[in-house]
Chain A
Amino acid sequence: MVEQAGGLSGGGADLQIQGVTKRFGDFVAVDDLHLQVPEGAFFALLGASGCGKTTTLRMVAGLERPTAGRILLGGDDITDLKPYRRPVNTVFQSYALFPHLSVEDNVAFGLRRQGKVSKGELRTKVGEMLELVELQQYAARRPAQLSGGQQQRVALARALINRPRVLLLDEPLGALDLKLRRAMQLELKRIQTDVGITFIHVTHDQEEAMTMADTIAVMNAGVIEQMGAPEELYGHPRSTFVANFLGQSNLISGVVKSKQGDEFLTEVLGTTVRASKVTSRDLEGDVWVGVRPEKVILQRPGEGRQEELNRLSGGRVSDVSFVGVSTQYLVRMASGQELMAFEQNTGERRPFAVGDDVDLTWLAEHTFLLDARQDVRAGAELGDGE
């Protein structure tokens, strides 16, 4: 039922944000934003704090007016429509449950205002919805008498019951502890698959975005840096911000020498490194040559020579940290740069020790190339924290 979203030209685009800009005084919160969210997609908007995620959602919900640009839903321009005229509902960052109404009345609020269903039907629907979020026995309580996780589910039920075209979720799991958060992630994903409504899920937790979404848009300082399926964003980052924000990356300075078949040949630290054209941007001259730490296999110098592997020699292990499922190595190269390598603790190989000489090897298809003009540290501090 859920259509796989693919890139900017994904089919059946339902929500379109066209060149939307939002200024608060002189401050540009959202800058010329273009987005297409396919119908029925689980779309994650990922970005650091203050990058304009909430502002974007508020404009879609109609709670904020764009300074410029248009917002279309299924082809209709909704830019100037009042919030209560849009088939869009929001789960607010702070839930915003009505404190004077019972759980039941909170959930029934939207349907009552629309006045399209009979009393009996309303009761049935509210009952079903409370069952979906497993809150039947709390129907008569006030929001203040519920735990954070239960309130969050009421907020979800209150929005979902209206069967909106688009459901906006603004960091709905932010206030929950890690365990409940993981449980609610699965729950949300299940509900979305069940009801088939377009979900736009805002988060600054990259892991959450990758587990839940079909499509992720990484936002930075009011613009979308890159958008695509989680595997695509992770495997083929197109900017240093995405490479660092979404997981971790080794970025090494190199030069593109030639193109050969479906590969680029680059020179890195005096050796030739091959990069697949599929994963890399078509660049010339100076580049950042990137590889994810878990894709790197450490070898003893000269050992296990395989022609199809990229190989950087002359490294020395400078730090080893054991994290259970894997061991994380820091390898200092002759140039002074430290590179990361994560090795699975399968027990097959003898672990390396600090001071061991090693070669770093990886496959050409795990190499990506980025523009050398971009800041190599962009997004690093932000992404690592989560």
Chain B
Amino acid sequence: MSAIRNWLGAHGVMLFGLLVLAYLCTPIVVVVLMSFNDPASRLGYDFDGFTLDNWTSICDPYQMCSSVGKSIQIGLMATGLATLLGSLMAFAMVRHHFRGRSTSNVLIFLPMASPEIVLGSSLLALFVNAGFAGQLGFWTIFIAHVMFCLSFVVITVKARLAGLDPRLEQAAADLYATEWQTFWRVTFPLVVPGIVAAALLSFSLSFDDFIITNLTSGQTVTFPMYVWGAAQRGVPMQVNVIGTIMFVLALSMVVGGSVLRRVREAPARG
């Protein structure tokens, strides 16, 4: 009895941690498994047999690959613009004291705090009133995505900047670096992890978004919308292939990033 209690005392936290991890990972495991599924019927979600067919015929389902392409395109463009604008805003809000700074700080939070369905419907109303009624599509989705990614970028980069010791920049100036050199040699390299994190977050937010996209897309179909539509008839197994690829990409970015950091920080000698 007491042996079990001792064992639990020593390993209880670990056991609990593993259970939570398993809980978190189960959906991903299911997605990976399903990507190798050979379903008996179109409407079935049972694992009926192993096959590589889904992987060799990814683009077979009508419109699927084009919707993935659209999502990636919008994701990359929205991320680019939102990261650029958001980083500049974060610099302004941390480094400069201007009228309305605290108001801007509050306003930045609003898109994060509002329900997406509200944002989406008001954007739709805005676009229609602005005369885009017949032209909803790629560009309106792009505008909407930049809008909601922006807040996340500003918050992420601001946190990184606020943690940056101003004495580092003063030390650079003391060591003969002009303002320009100080920015590129000291400030930027130290803030870059925050900017990268913001960009990754933006991309996944944009790639993933359904509600706002659905309301502002017109005839354009993004990947989440495709999956939603397909679900009415039975989701093709290739969707799981796309899911697995996205998961592997994200995982390798995270692992790659930390390996790179290890290598860079480890002393080469001594």
**Chain A interface (Cβ < 8 Å from any Cβ of B):** 61-63, 82-84, 88-90, 92, 94, 96-100, 109-110, 113-114, 137-142, 144-145, 158-159, 162
Contact = CB atoms under 8 A, between A and B. Distances in A.
Contact of B173 (A63, A98, A139, A145): A63
Contacts of B171: 90, 92, 96-98
B243 to A, nearest CB: 36
A146 to B, nearest CB: 10
B174 A83 contact: yes
Contact of B181 (A82, A98, A100, A113): A113
A249 B185 CA distance: 52
A47 B270 CA distance: 40
Nearest to B182: A84
A96 B178 contact: no
Contact of B176 (A84, A92, A145): A84
B269 to A, nearest CB: 5
Interface string B174-191: 111110010001100110
Nearest to B170: A63
A211 B175 CA distance: 29
Contacts of B268: 140
Contact of B174 (A84, A97, A141): A84
Contacts of A137: 269-270
Given A96-B168, A138-B270, A140-B269, 15 more contacts: A61-B174, A62-B173, A63-B170, A82-B178, A84-B173, A98-B168, A99-B168, A109-B185, A110-B175, A113-B175, A137-B269, A138-B267, A142-B267, A159-B175, A162-B175
Interface in B146-180: 165, 167-168, 170-178
B41 to A, nearest CB: 57
B174 A90 contact: yes
Interface in B176-209: 176-178, 181, 185-186, 189-190
Contact of A109 (B175, B178, B265, B270): B175
Most buried by A among B174, B185, B265, B268: B174
B165 A96 contact: yes
A99 B177 CA distance: 17
A103 to B, nearest CB: 9
Nearest to B169: A96
Contacts of B168: 96, 98-99
A110 B181 CA distance: 11
B190 A110 contact: no
B270 A139 contact: yes
A142 B267 CA distance: 8
11 contacts: A62-B173, A84-B174, A89-B174, A89-B175, A92-B167, A110-B175, A137-B269, A137-B270, A140-B269, A140-B270, A162-B175
Interface string B15-39: 0000000000000000000000000
Interface string B41-72: 00000000000000000000000000000000
A110 B268 CA distance: 23
A84 B178 contact: yes
Contact of B177 (A113, A139, A145, A159): A113
Contacts of B178: 82, 84, 113
B270 A94 contact: no
B1 to A, nearest CB: 48
A236 B233 CA distance: 98
Contacts of A159: 174-175
Contacts of A90: 171, 174
A142 B265 contact: yes
A83 B170 contact: yes
Nearest to B165: A96
Nearest to B186: A98
A68 to B, nearest CB: 22
Contact of B172 (A61, A94, A109, A145): A109
Contacts of B181: 113
Contacts of B270: 137-141
B167 A140 contact: no
Contacts of A114: 176
Contact of B267 (A92, A145, A162): A145
B174 A94 contact: no
A297 to B, nearest CB: 51
A141 B270 CA distance: 8
Contact of A100 (B165, B174, B190): B190
Nearest to A144: B265
Contact of A110 (B170, B176, B269): B176
A216 B64 CA distance: 79
Among B178, B181, B267, chain A packs the most CB atoms within 10 A around the CB of B267
Nearest to A83: B173
B162 to A, nearest CB: 16
B170 A96 contact: yes
A140 B175 contact: no
A342 B185 CA distance: 57
A89 B176 CA distance: 9
Contacts of A84: 173-178
A84 B171 CA distance: 10
Interface centre among A97, A109, A114, A140, by most B CB within 10 Å?
A: A109
Contacts of A98: 168, 171-172, 186
A61 B176 CA distance: 11
Contacts of A92: 167, 170-171
A79 to B, nearest CB: 16
A159 B175 CA distance: 7
A109 B177 contact: yes
Contacts of B172: 98, 109
Contacts of A139: 269-270
A93 to B, nearest CB: 9
A278 to B, nearest CB: 42
Nearest to A109: B175
A61 B189 CA distance: 25
A270 B173 CA distance: 63
Contacts of A96: 165, 167-168, 170-171
